[in-house]
Amino acid sequence: MTGLHPQTRAVHPPVIVPEGSEPVGVPIYQGHLFSFDSGDGLAAAFQGPDEAFFYGRMGNPTVRSLERAVTELEGGAGALATASGMGAISAVLLAVLGSGDHVIAQSALYGGTHALLLDLAERWGVEVTFIPGDDPAEVRDALRPNTRVLYLETVANPTTHVTDLPAFTEAVRGRDVLTVVDNTFTPILCKPIEHGVDVVIHSTTKYLSGHGDVVGGIAVFADSSVHHRVWKHSLELGTAAAPFAAWLTIRGLATLPMRVARQSASALDIAGRLAAHPSVTRVHYPGLSDHPQHEVARRLLPDGAGGVLAFELAGGRDAGGTFSEAVRLIGLGPSLGAAVSLVMHPASTSHRQMDAASLAAAGIGEGTVRLSIGLEHPDDLWADLEQALAKAA
Ligand SMILES: *Cc1c(COP(=O)(O)O)cnc(C)c1O
């Protein structure tokens, strides 16, 4: 470009596309727009999630790297990365549901998902039936001719209820029902698509990014036609993941299997120590033999039951509040899956307005504490837990 004015040159720097060698890591493509040599090329790019890149809301090379990586980890046909876990859940449900459709969902759901389903029921004419998720017969009883979605979570929060995914997908086999599973708690440990699930969702905010520095989500599809359908609706909703968030998540994926294995092993260790402590009346961890779905967990999560556990303090609401403020190494916060350990006492924080009866209906006790185990040494975690338990006693 000779003969141009500096003002023009300034806005047209050379864009270097590597030739003759390739980057080893995934580059961050921060630019939102790609140009074409031909109108036909641009027209083709509008057709689906695997075409050429043209505008950041429709696709981005860094984001697609993340989508391909997680597709392979989950054994799917394609994926859609989103700006948050709720973005993935909303994109999927709003893409596949219409007014008059029926959803069967387990009752112990992530709070945001529960709120979305209630909103769809109140304002958009979607019918919702909540089931405990203990027995696939609940699904057979709830099925209607207009049932379109069965929505489950591999491990639920904070009860650590485990859903028998193969049995539940079997209950809707041969019907026009999409099974959607939130697998946020058990990446690597469980691959729901192998158990007949159609759509797997992760809040990548949690284990997939794993360092507490990203908000993001992803939906992985067993079938590319569902992927295309949800991608089209995601353009209307504007759920696209940002390139830098996708890049941080890709960085997190490198250590995901090691982190999750370590966190699972530490969680089992801490769960055992808590179960033997006099101030603790009960521990909820699928890896313990007294857990109600321990047998399901052994089949579904043979390599570890994840890094999240919950326990009941004998002292109830007051003890829970004191305990969660007394931890030093462990942070008090409503998230999980990070390198740092976190506690959460729902009755004095997120669920403060609820009385004992409404808490119980949500599967939460007044003294229930959730613990997300990080990557610290389990002896250091135990020392912190022990001193906080002593203060709460
Ligand atoms: C955090 C979380 C979500 C929501 O994810 P965001 O990234 O916060 O939008 C959904 N499901 C589960 C199980 C979660 O833990």
Please report, for the chain, the start and end positions of each structural domain, with discontinuous segments joined by +. Answer: 39-253, 256-392
List C-alpha distances in Å: 236 to 63, 97, 178: 18, 15, 21
**Does residue 284 register a pLDDT over 70?**
yes
Question: Which residue among the candidates 50, 57, 213, 282 is catalytic per the annotation?
Answer: 57
| Atom 5, ligand 1: residue with shortest CA distance | 85
The CA-based angle 379-326-304, given to 5 degrees, is 40
Which architecture characterizes domain 39-253 according to CATH?
3-Layer(aba) Sandwich (3.40)
pLDDT at 188: 97
Does the active-site annotation cover 57? yes
Closest of 256, 258, 284, 266 to residue 384, by C-alpha: 266
Mean pLDDT of 155-163: 94
Question: Which of 110, 154, 162, 185 for a ligand 1 pocket mutation test, highest count of atoms within 8 Å of Cβ?
Answer: 110
pLDDT tens-digit readout, 212-239:
999 999 999 999 999 999 999 999 999 9
Distance CA 336, CA 334 (A): 7
Mean pLDDT of 15-29: 94
Mean pLDDT of 56-69: 97
Return the CATH number of 256-392, one of 3.40.1030.10, 1.10.468.10, 3.90.550.10, 3.90.1150.10: 3.90.1150.10
Maximum Cα interatomic distance, the chain, rounded to a whole number of Å: 82
If you measure from the C-alpha of residue 85 to the centroid of ligand 1, how many angstroms do you get, rounded to a whole number? 5
If you measure from the C-alpha of residue 281 to the centroid of ligand 1, how many angstroms do you get, rounded to a whole number? 28
pLDDT tens-digit readout, 74-90:
999 999 999 999 999 99
**Does residue 247 register a pLDDT over 80?**
yes
Total residues found in the chain within this entry: 393
pLDDT at 126: 98
Closest ligand 1 atom to 336 CA: 15
Under the banding of pLDDT at 50, 70 and 90, the label for residue 1 is low
What is the share, in percent, of the chain residues with pLDDT greater than 70? 100
Question: Which residue among the candidates 64, 148, 191, 206 is catalytic per the annotation?
Answer: 206
pLDDT at 178: 98
Does the active-site annotation cover 206? yes
Which residue ranges have their beta carbon within 6 Å of ligand 1?
84-86, 110, 112, 157, 182, 184, 203, 205-206, 215, 217
Higher pLDDT among residues 374 and 346, named by residue: 374
